[in-house]
Copies of this chain bind each other. A is one copy, B any other.
Amino acid sequence: MSFDIPTSHPRYHSLLFREKIVEGLHNHVVAEAGLFAHGRGESLDYFLGEITQDFGRRAARAAAARLLLARHPVISVNGNAAALVPQELVALAKAVNAPLEVNLFYRAPGREEAIEAVLKAAGAGEVYGVGEAASAEIPEITHGRRRVDPRGILIADVVLVPLEDGDRTEALVAMGKDVLTIDLNPLSRTAKKAHVTVVDNIVRALPIITEQALQLKALPRAAWEEAGGWDNGKNLAQALRFYSHRLADLALEAEG
């Protein structure tokens, strides 16, 4: 399928990212369920105004700080993330010196390898979690979904799991890991269980985390520790209030 929407189209970016998901579906990078998840995100991003809000920017800075402070940071990659932001994942991995690990809800023959190929084409070095490398298991979730790489998520102290499923987030938290996520829904289980939730579109959030990491790297470690301090419940409530106020404003507009 060719993408021939003019850049002047008011929904250009939205349609472009949707096209990347469809392309990912055809390349076995994205599962069918990924299209539903992307649609859910579209609704929420629309209510967010399709721009990064303050609560998202602050969470991105906290996440960047925690990745820098980590001894074994890992960035978990699923199909939608690989389809939407492969270069941005590689840039963040380099900025915080963290490996990328493929971690899928729906494992299927060839999918991990397809995602690895997308990441390598975007400049990634070794990619964890592919095939036999995902030989360890994390407890409390069903088989297939619990396989992780013993060099990566298994021993990580800090894990960034953008667009993650609630069961897996809970399992990682239960293992004592510091869990960072990017999720447009402040009410999702992942958003609520993670330690730092960036309520934003992954397409905008990842470059901001990278930019914040590069800024923080120029500062002393004490500044990282300060930036890493975080009250996630308070920030999620701010995000919810933002959505609520925006809908109230739109209701007023609708009434003229």
Contact = CB atoms under 8 A, between A and B. Distances in A.
Interface stretch (A39-47, A144-152, A170-178): A39-47
A223 interface: no
Contacts of A247: 240-241, 243-244, 247
A212 interface: no
Interface residues of A, number: 39
A145 to B, nearest CB: 15
Nearest to A188: B46
Interface string A1-43: 0000000000000000010011001000000110111111111
Contacts of A35: 32, 35-36, 39
Interface stretch (A65-73, A88-96, A121-129, A231-239): A231-239
Nearest to A245: B244
A254 interface: yes
Contact of A250 (B38, B46, B187): B187
Contacts of A238: 251
Closest 9 CB pairs of A and B: A39-B39, A240-B251, A35-B35, A244-B247, A36-B39, A43-B43, A244-B248, A237-B255, A40-B43
Given A25-B32, A39-B40, A240-B248, 4 more contacts: A22-B32, A36-B36, A238-B251, A241-B251
